[in-house]
Amino acid sequence: MRKFRITPQLVIIGIVLHLGLRLVTLLSVGLGNASQRGFVLDAMRVVGSFCAYTVALLVCWRIADEYREAKWMRLAWLLLTLNAGLSLLRPFARPLPFWGQPVDLYHTPPEYALLLHYILVPANFCLLLGLLVIWWAYHEIGLGFRLCRRDAVAIAGLLGIMLAIFVFSDLLTEAKAYYRATRVLQIVAQVQMFLIAAASLLLHRLSIQMGKGRLAIVLRWMTVYALWRLGMVLTVSLARHLFPHQLQLIIDLAEFGWQLAPWLFALAVAYRAELTDWAAERLARIRSERPVLAS
Amino acid sequence: MNHGITPNEWERHLNGTLTTTEQERIDAHLIGCLPCWDFYQRMMTLNAKLQEAGEMKRDAFALSDERLRAGLLNVFTRIHNAETDEPATPLQTRLNELEAVMSVFCGEQAAVNAMQAAAAHSPAKSLKQITHENWEPFLQRLIAIAQVLCGRTGARWLLESGRL
């Protein structure tokens, strides 16, 4: 019997189902009128995010085990597992009385916003540390991978945008939050997002220097995930500032991006799991061809 | 249409590689022969368009420094191997197999670097100095690197592939 495996194809099916159903539901009431199907859309958001983070959690845990003999990589994947585990709670952070109401991160109950950031900040911290430890592990084995000047320029550009965000911090969702802790935590989360994006650029450089290889695909999807989340924060903040009369439409469209994010992480780690499955198949083939060595 | 000009001569004429005598003969014919002149004009236009398109494509698919370096390294290695004209030893064959296995997993450049790093940190000191005697420490070092790059299963696959 064929063993059940989480593959990138399975994750892509999940993405298509989740976002496809959301699109169909939204189109049935018209964009910008999500409140008419509030409960259904909320249920999709929770179930979709839960599925994506569950997939990511299971795969990260399995990959952490795969690196039992490589301490830094094991630590990195345990941190990614922790990130997925904490993120798993995020869809449930929204209190039940608000289920079915349109999702608007700019107008949320103060307790919800605070709880969300209490989960988000440690999750981001684990993700950031995980990406940095992966980079360190590759650096430590001494394969001679180097950063280029254009990486430094890109990272400097990211830091520049981060400073700009501080100047225009009124655009952030929790700029006028009831609790001061929420405001502070959101700023911390934004700094983390920029650092995560910068760390992902390091991994992207590694993937380029590695040449063509299946591992490079994993690193590139990690980069896509990190940049996607940062891009969403910036795009939505800017869109709300530029088109203040289209708020509901922006929220409806932005939710596609936000709900895609956990799937992108799941896709990145699923590619890594596929790599292990693929190596296991090759290993089994070698052992069957050379039965003496198998013993 | 031939008019005493072979396809090879047409090609060399367009490329400007004809001898002076041949060049003058064809130029003299082109002045008086309208079909040949039309053909020549069409070929010149086509040639110019192809060159332009080629340049555009070359710009669009410019190789990165890393890819260029890896490609050149392969070319020079092959030239060197061809010059030395030595048949590959079983050890060399096994090294090539290991590199191929790692390349699929973590990329060509990472595989080359990993092999070199493993050799440098083993008694062999370099890939060229690897012998049957120092093969095992080299392989163990390579497996340690592969543990980080490929994980346990990938490293085991490499270990099985690398056993002599």
A12-59 tens-digit pLDDT? 999 999 999 999 988 887 766 666 667 788 888 889 999 999 999 999
The band of A240, judged by pLDDT with boundaries at 50, 70 and 90, is: confident
- B77: in domain: yes
The average pLDDT across B87-111 equals: 83
User: Are both B54 and B69 inside the same structural domain?
Assistant: no
Q: What is the DSSP secondary structure assignment for residue A244, as one 8-state letter?
A: G
Does the reported pTM lie above 0.80? no
Residue A99 binned pLDDT confidence (cut-offs 50, 70, 90): low
Number of folded domains in chain B? Answer: 2
Asked whether residue B2 is domain-assigned, the answer is no
d(CA B89, CA A53): 50
Residue A224 to residue A261: CA distance in whole angstroms: 9
Q: Which of B67, B117, B157 sits opposite A143 (nearest CB)?
A: B117
Averaged pLDDT, B5-13: 86
Of B60, B78, B97, the one marking the end of a domain is B60
For every residue of B85-112, which 3-state class applies, written as one string? CCCCCHHHHHHHHHHHHHHHHHCHHHHH
Q: What is the distance between the alpha carbons of residues A224 and A265, in angstroms, rounded to a whole number?
A: 9
CA separation for the pair A62, A137 (Å, rounded) = 18
If asked whether residues B70 and B56 sit together in one domain, one would say: no
Q: Which residues of B touch A63 (CB under 8 A)?
A: 151
Contact A94, A45 (CB under 8 A): no
Phi and psi at residue B133, in whole multiples of 5°?
Answer: -70, -40
- Going by C-alpha positions, the residue among A254, A267, A258 that lies closest to residue A52 is A267
Mean pLDDT along residues A90-116: 66
In this predicted structure, what is the pLDDT of residue A34? 63
Give me the domain span that covers residue B17. 7-60
% of chain A exceeding 90 in pLDDT: 37
Q: Looking at beta carbons, which residues of chain A come within 8 Å of B108?
A: 211-213
- Residues A84-89: what's their mean pLDDT? 91
By CA distance, what is A143's nearest residue in B? Answer: B113
Handedness of CA A224, A230, A236, A241 (dihedral sign): negative
More confident residue, A291 or A1: A291
- Whether B95 and B155 share a structural domain: yes
pLDDT-based confidence at A95, cuts 50/70/90? Answer: low
Per the listing, tokens 């995560």 go with A196
CA distance A220 to chain B (A): 13
B110 contacts in A (CB within 8 Å)? Answer: 143, 209-211, 213, 215
pLDDT at A177: 66
Would residue B96 count as lying in a domain?
Answer: yes
- For CA atoms A190, A227, A119, A72, the dihedral sign is negative
Q: Cα–Cα distance between B94 and B97 in angstroms, integer?
A: 5
Write the residue in B104, B156, B160 that is nearest to A214 by C-beta.
B104
Residue B1 belongs to a domain: no
Whether residue B14 is found in the same domain as residue B95: no
Query: What distance in Å separates the CA atoms of residue A213 and residue B106, rounded to the nearest whole number?
Result: 5
The answer to whether the Cβ–Cβ distance between B106 and A216 falls below 8 Å is: yes
Q: Over the stretch A184-212, which tens digit does the pLDDT of each residue have?
A: 888 888 889 899 999 998 888 888 888 87
Q: How far is B57 from chain A (nearest CA, A)?
A: 21
Token pair of A10 as six digits: 């399975």
Q: How far apart are CA A272 and CA A278, in angstroms?
A: 10
- CB contact under 8 Å between B148 and A73, yes or no, is yes
Facing residue for B105 by CB, picked from A69, A145, A214: A214
Close Cβ partners of B120 (under 8 Å, ≥ 6 residues apart) = B126
| pLDDT for residue A196 | 92
pLDDT grade for A76, boundaries at 50, 70 and 90: very high
Whether residue B54 is found in the same domain as residue B71: no
Which tens digit of pLDDT belongs to each residue from B18-65? 888 888 888 888 888 888 888 888 888 888 888 888 877 777 766 667
Structure-token pair, residue B70: 């890896």
CB distance A136 to A69 below 8 Å = no
Q: How many CB atoms lie within 10 A of CB A217?
A: 18
| Residue at B88 is within a domain | yes
- Tell me the CB-side half-sphere exposure of residue A48, using CA atoms within 13 A: 27
Last residue of a domain, one of B60, B77, B96: B60
The CATH number for A8-276, chosen from 2.60.11, 1.20.1070, 3.30.70, 1.10.3470, is: 1.20.1070
- Any domain includes B138: yes
Highest-scoring range by mean pLDDT, A175-179, B71-75, B86-90: B71-75
Q: Which residues of B touch A (CB under 8 A)?
A: 64, 66-67, 70, 101, 103-111, 113-114, 117, 121, 144-145, 147-157, 160-161, 163
**Are B105 and B26 part of one and the same domain?**
no
**What 8-state DSSP symbol labels residue A178?**
S
Average pLDDT, chain A: 84
Last residue of one domain, picked from the residues B29, B45, B60:
B60
Q: Tokens 């399995």 appear where?
A: A62
Over residues A148-172, mean pLDDT: 81
Mean pLDDT of A264-283: 92
Tokens of A55: 């997939």
The verdict on residue B94 lying in a domain is: yes
- For tokens 């050149």, the residue is B72
pLDDT at A295: 44
Percent of chain A with pLDDT over 70: 85
Q: What confidence category does residue A94 fall into, taking pLDDT thresholds of 50, 70 and 90?
A: low
Chain B residues within an 8 Å CB radius of A143: 110, 113-114, 117, 145
Supply the ipTM of this predicted assembly: 0.77
The pLDDT, as a whole number, for residue B9 is 86
**DSSP 3-state of B1:** coil
Give dist(CA A270, CA A276) in Å, integer: 10
In this structure, the answer to whether residues B55 and B79 fall within a common structural domain is no
Q: What is the rounded (10 degree) CA torsion for A44, A48, A51, A56?
A: -160
